[in-house]
Structures are given as C-alpha cells and as structure tokens.
Amino acid sequence: MRIYLIGFMGSGKSHWGRLLSASMKVPFYDLDDVITQHENKTIPEIFSEKGEEYFRMLEKELLTTLTEANGNMVISCGGGTPCFFGNIDFMKDNGKVIWLNTSTPVLLQRLMKEKNHRPLLRDIPDYEMKAFIVKKLHDRKLYYEQAHLVLPEETLSLEQIKSAIEHE
C-alpha cells in the first residue's frame, strides 16, 4: 500500500511518515529530501536559482517516479505538492492520502522556529506569519480536503493512524 501524507509545512508529515513506515516495514521517502538529493541543492537554492515553476515540475516528476517504483511506501509530500499539476488526483488514484490537519497556532509556533530554513517563509516578517499561514491554508484547503483521511495531527498517535488506514 502507498501512503501519501499531506498537510501544511510544519504539520509533522516527515515525523509521522518515518514512524509509520518503520511500523509497516515499508520504505519512507520525504519528497523534499528526494528533490534536494536529485538536484544536489537545498530547496531554497532551487527556488532562488530556478524558480518555483521548475521546482513544482520536478516535484511532480519525482512523485511519479517514486510511485511507479514502489508498490508499498510512505511518502511525506511538500506542503504544496497536492496543489499542482493534478498531484492530488494522482496520489488518490495510486494510494491512500492522509491530511495531517494541524491548527494554525501550532503551525505558527513550529514555523517561527524554523522560518529561515523554509523558502516560502524566509522573507515574511514575524508579525505577518499568522496571516500568511491562514491565507495559504485557505488557498490549499480545497486540495487538502480531498484526502481519503483527515486526521487532527496534534492529538495523533501511531496506533490511530494505522487504525484509520485499516478502516478507511
């Protein structure tokens, strides 16, 4: 089974993805890590040197490649992955999509700590971060809501994720 974890940046996709893949004994891929290894550049460098459109096209290509190469896997997608090039439909057609739905206050707290490592956040003044998160969540919600499962991330356990997958 292929499991695609989606959600806003800072929602715990990589954390839960590693735990879930270890529990299921299947490979884990962090799509952002796959992209950086492929390009031998950080995501901020890719955005800066080649632009968001290039990044999104590469993201789609590598998502497709990973899916075609793995019958069973857990993949944590970038926050914007479901929103471009029909990726949400592709993921739904090829596995189970889980939205790790994290509240705005928790996202704000987490993202303020790692703001300088996130290309979309780096230049946003601290006082505008909450408004940015609210707007981006609003823009992406249409895609996130299409997931097979929507799980509240802050109160989640590995057992709850596995149970939800089994009963979906």
71 is in an annotated binding site: no
15 is in an annotated binding site: yes
32 is in an annotated binding site: yes
7 is in an annotated binding site: no
79 is in an annotated binding site: yes
Query: How far apart are the C-alpha atoms of 100 and 98, rounded to whole Å?
Result: 6
23 is in an annotated binding site: no
User: What Rg, from alpha-carbon coordinates, does the chain have?
Assistant: 15
User: Among 63, 158, 150, which residue's Cα sits nearest to residue 100?
Assistant: 150
140 is in an annotated binding site: yes
Q: For residue 150, give the H/E element and its range.
A: strand 149-152
18 is in an annotated binding site: no
Beta bridge partners of 75: 4, 29
12 is in an annotated binding site: yes
Query: How far apart are the C-alpha atoms of 98 and 119, rounded to whole Å?
Result: 24
- Per the annotation, binding residues for Mg(2+) are 14
- Per the annotation, binding residues for substrate are 32, 56, 79, 140
- Per the annotation, binding residues are 10-15, 32, 56, 79, 118, 140
- Per the annotation, binding residues for ATP are 10-15, 118
